[in-house]
Amino acid sequence: MSYSEHTVGIYTLGCKVNQYESEAIAEKFSSYGFCVQPPTRSCDIYVINTCTVTAESDRKARQFIRRAIHKNPNAYILVTGCFSQTQPEQIAEIPGVDYICGNANKLSVVDAALRLCAYGHKNNLPEKETVPPDSCGFEKMKISHFDRTRAYVKIEDGCESHCTYCIIPAARGKIRSKRPSDVLTEVRNLTDSGCREIVLTGIETASYGRDLDGYDLADLLCEIDRIPNIGRIRLGSLDPSLVKQDFVDRIARLNSLTPHFHISMQSGSDRILALMKRKYNTRMALEGMARLRKMNPEMQFTTDIIVGFPQESEEDFMQTLQFAKKAKFLMIHVFPYSKRQGTVAAEMSGQIPESIKHERVKILTALQSDLREEILHSCIGKTVEVLFESYENGIASGHTSNFIEVACPTPCSLHAKLCPVLIQGVESGRCVGKLLI
């Protein structure tokens, strides 16, 4: 049976892990001859890869499912991901959904599509395969294509931290690591295909190797660094407790690892971090960041911070602001606390009113903007290497190795090229400069 006339659109919500998994799903569809196209078009098959990290994520998941059904009521609707893992019954109540699976075997959406195409009609009731998320171990998937300069490679799944605010352990299960040989083969193939930057990502990337015998993230980075013609290697979100002196010493000599770390802080108050049951405090985080800055003075940091966690006082929030100033983050992703059913924090006393949460989001976001401007202005007069990613209206833009966005005028696209740029100013939250070629 030929599937070349069947079109597939994939909506991806949430994290970089979901982005990688959606790309793997797209490649499997393509291997059968399906035509994968943007989900904004009318498609014969829709895959919605969901997130459940906040209540807003759940709302968006339902919205995108209904949007797909509205675009083509006759389309096959396949739903996977974290929301379908934790709340499959909610999805089953939406008329028009044909298949629901969680995170154990996301590639099964392709098999479901093949069955539906063979039947030739939609299911009267959705087929459900939501087994425990870690029941199949680390799902075997890989990618070989990348649309832009950068590619994400999933190296780890699952989380066992059980932070009091987080539903993700229920959605993703226990820690599972991708075999080092599989990671190395995937990275090598992407590099040979011209990929200039690879982001190693996971649900808890710092835990990579915990289920392997005597092998960890530093070992993997050292092996990747030896791949011929390897470009930049960037890491996904990391627990600050990873950045001990031994880890820093082991990565200090690597040429491919970028001087940019995304540190998952969540708060700058030690009292709130304890209530969250995080594995570190602010002192440990600042000491780890200082070690990395000593290793490379060009090191930059980005982070996530939740405001309005239960019992967060004004003093706690002020401590978070002071911590952000000390840390000098290039970027802070600020989130208001969101209740997740089944978590400890949802039942805590001292829930913060929404109005206070939103006010704290505004204040921390404004501080983040000021910190970013200060860092960007410190780059004026420097010559930096920029890996260009996009081109629009005569302006090429990309990122330095330490994740500073740079734009410069040029008569042609510089996609995937690494070029020297003299930074001359700052505009609209990014550096602007002159191409030196």
Instruction: Evaluate if residue 132 carries a pLDDT over 90.
Output: yes
DSSP SS3 for 47: strand
Distance CA 75, CA 96 (A): 8
Question: How distant is the alpha carbon of residue 132 from its chain centre?
Answer: 22
Of 306, 310, 323, the closest CA to residue 361 belongs to 306
Give one DSSP letter per residue of 97-155, joined into a string: --EEE-SS-TTHHHHHHHHHHHHTS--SS-EEE---TTTTSS--------SSSEEEEEE
Distance CA 265, CA 278 (A): 9
DSSP SS3 for 262: strand
Of 120, 116, 119, 118, the closest CA to residue 97 belongs to 116
Distance CA 26, CA 34 (A): 9
Q: What is the pLDDT of residues 219-230, one digit of tens each?
A: 999 999 999 999
pLDDT confidence band for 48 (50 / 70 / 90):
very high
pLDDT confidence band for 3 (50 / 70 / 90):
confident
Cβ count within 10 A of residue 315: 10
**pLDDT at residue 142, rounded to an integer:** 95
pLDDT confidence band for 4 (50 / 70 / 90):
confident
Distance CA 101, CA 112 (A): 10
Rg (CA), the chain: 22
Distance CA 281, CA 291 (A): 16
Q: What is the pLDDT of residues 137-160, one digit of tens each?
A: 999 999 998 877 899 999 999 999
Helix (H) or strand (E) holding 20: helix 16-31
Beta strand 300-307 with 232-235: parallel, antiparallel or unpaired? unpaired
pLDDT confidence band for 437 (50 / 70 / 90):
confident
pLDDT confidence band for 245 (50 / 70 / 90):
very high
Q: What is the pLDDT of residues 369-417, one digit of tens each?
A: 999 999 999 999 999 999 999 999 999 999 999 999 999 999 999 999 9
For 198, residues 6+ apart whose C-beta sits below 8 A from its C-beta are: 150, 151, 152, 153, 187, 190, 191, 231, 232, 233, 234
Give the global pTM. 0.95
**pLDDT at residue 1, rounded to an integer:** 62
| Domains contained in the chain, CATH given | 7-129 (3.40.50.12160), 150-377 (3.80.30.20), 383-435 (2.40.50)
Q: What is the pLDDT of residues 154-192, one digit of tens each?
A: 999 999 999 999 999 999 999 999 999 999 999 999 999
**pLDDT at residue 288, rounded to an integer:** 98
Q: Work out the mean pLDDT of the chain and round it to a whole number.
A: 96
Q: Around 295, how many Cα atoms within 13 Å sit in the side-chain half-sphere? A: 26
Distance CA 392, CA 259 (A): 27
Distance CA 300, CA 370 (A): 15
Of 280, 220, 404, 417, the closest CA to residue 330 belongs to 404
C-beta of residue 46 within 8 angstroms of C-beta of residue 84: no
Structural tokens at position 396: 């090429």
**pLDDT at residue 231, rounded to an integer:** 96
